[in-house]
Chain A
Amino acid sequence: MQNEQKISTVHWLGGERFLSGLKRVNCFCGGYGSGKTEVAINFAIHLAVAGNHVRVADLDVVNAYFRSREVRTELQEYGIDVLIPGENLINTDLPIIQPEIKGAVEHPDGLVVLDLGGDPAGARATASFAEAIPADDYSGFFVLNSRRPFADTPKQVEKLMAEIGRAAGLDVTGIVVNSHLINETAPDTIEEGIRLAETVSRETDVGIAFVVVERRLLKEFDAVGCRYPVMVLDRHLLKPWESADKLGKDKFKL
């Protein structure tokens, strides 16, 4: 990756085969802090930029902080439909699932990205419309961060994956390696995540769908040489002191 221009714009590396097999409904689940929301947001934006009609549903009913609803304006600028609870309920942690979400899942056109809450408690939100999800046109991505407590050994990851799948009433069809320490991620962090995911994959027969690499790491991490597709990630959920030149106060409530 010597090409500076490519580094600043590329979305996927070696993602052709993965993208050609893309399903209509794409559900992101995982433990707290695995980076589900950031991964789901990037996944949706990349698809929208490539010309797809994308609907994103924020199903995080567990936690009122750092959710995809916080970047809804930004997503809407990409032409993405964002399904979130009504405006007056946006800062609550009430368990509200909009009927529109079920509608979006059932709609035959366009792509759907579902961003679930963390852990089994958060994944339970899909159970109410799991039967509406088309089994043959669906992917369930389990987002894995090996630097999270309770998710750093194969046994723990397998347990969490099974619990979340059960709570959601959905199958996990692929692992997304998103090992990171936010601004302290190093190439080693990602390699370590891939190794953990490979062990889990052997035990569970769930394959590795893709690996997530933050754009600033493309110069250090050999994404082209990676044995899995690489999705490039730009951070959208920033902390208030990081938001200086990127987000205005209207866009970022937290």
Chain B
Amino acid sequence: MAKVLMKGNEAIGEAGIRAGGLCYFCYPITPQSEVAEYLSRRMPDVGGSFLQAESEVAVSNMLYGAAGAGVRAWTTSSSPGISLMMEGLSYIAAAELPAVLINIVRCGPGLGGILPSQCDYFQAVKGGGHGDYRCMVLAPSSVQEAVDLIPLAFDRADRYRNPVIVIGDGMIGQMMEPVEFKEHKFPPLPPKDWATTGCKGRKRNVVNSLYLDPIEEEKLNMKLVAKYEQMKREEVRYEEYNTDKPYQALLVAYGTTARICKTAIQQLVLEGITVALLRPITLFPFPEKKIQELARQAEWLMSVEMSTGQMVEDVRLAVGHDRPVYFFGRTGGVVPTPEEIRDAVKKHLTGKGV
């Protein structure tokens, strides 16, 4: 298929359809409303369901219901909207249901603004809702990568029976880039014999997250932990940049920020300064072992984010006290420029700090 020029939000809509996400619930919010707009136009062509709910709380419970009935259910929203879905998300994780949530992050806290940000890292990676659960979190850095990760998100949601979050800043949703929809093949999935599809001729299935017996509740928690441990072993994804040559410092950045870091690194090379980049593609599971390994060759590390410093905590956990881990961030919808990242690197190299 020839490449087309698509806005991230439209491409996300199309990728969801192609991944079999035929049950889509939403409540509009900038900067991702075009996903809903696109799907309201496309869903009738493919016989899918498009439903604009009365609120984001309703959306998360519709996801719970549809996923419980065994269909591929998903939603897209942006930061405040995702916050409203946290209760339902916790129930989905507890009931071991597959669902895909896409968060096109805007700046916050509160109502914030509509410009890009990465300030929802904690919310996505550390739970967000109540209770001991984790979501697998995928962080694309281009429209093409978003399109390629969405089929994976649906597959892994089904495979682990766990919610998967795709997180992109406002730019991933709003920018136009050429994209190509490729065929994605995955091994066959186990049948959804737990789904509430009508119990004629079989024992009834119950989807629930209420456990009044502490031992049973602890068993569930241990079962969930085992899944998260498996994800840590099997699902870690990342991109390395410039790590094949010696480097003085290692940057860690995800999403579009990583692309700005690459431009900064290219500028630094012209000044004879060698810097490498590790871009986590999965934020959970986090590529901690890889960062640990790459850190050994660097004098120090710097996490670059559109936040006041969230992922930097995971980078520090990975590196321990072996190397200094610095932070550079812009917030409020301000996107860092390659020049200011370059300058931050240079300040640390001269030992002056930022």
Interface residues of A (CB under 8 A from B): 32-33, 63-66, 91-93, 145, 147-150, 152, 180-184, 239-244, 248-249, 252-254
Contacts and interface: CB of A to CB of B under 8 A. Distances in A.
B333 A248 contact: no
Nearest to A93: B30
Given A240-B260, A241-B260, A244-B267, 10 more contacts: A32-B7, A33-B6, A64-B31, A145-B5, A149-B14, A181-B4, A182-B5, A239-B175, A240-B337, A244-B338
A241 B256 contact: yes
A181 B178 contact: yes
Contact of A65 (B14, B31, B336, B339): B31
Given A64-B115, A240-B335, A147 B259 contact: no
Nearest to B259: A241
B16 interface: no
A183 to B, nearest CB: 8
Interface of B: 2-7, 10, 14, 30-31, 34, 41, 113-116, 170-171, 174-178, 256, 259-260, 262-263, 266-267, 333-340
B93 to A, nearest CB: 32
14 contacts: A63-B174, A64-B115, A147-B3, A149-B10, A182-B176, A183-B178, A239-B175, A240-B256, A240-B335, A240-B336, A241-B259, A252-B337, A254-B115, A254-B171
Given A239-B175, A241-B262, A148 B4 contact: yes
Contacts of A65: 31, 115, 170-171, 174-175
Nearest to A64: B114
Interface majority SS (helix, strand, loop, mixed), chain A: loop
Contacts of A242: 263
Contacts of A91: 113-115, 333
A253 B262 CA distance: 19
B178 A248 contact: no
Contacts of B333: 91, 253
A183 B175 CA distance: 13
Contact of A147 (B5, B31, B260, B336): B5
A147 B7 CA distance: 12
Contacts of A180: 5
Nearest to B176: A33
Contacts of B7: 32-33
A206 B267 CA distance: 47
Contacts of A248: 337, 339
Given A64-B115, A254-B116, A254-B171, A249 B340 contact: yes
A244 B259 CA distance: 11
A241 B263 contact: yes
Contact of B4 (A149, A240, A243, A244): A149
Contacts of A184: 3, 178
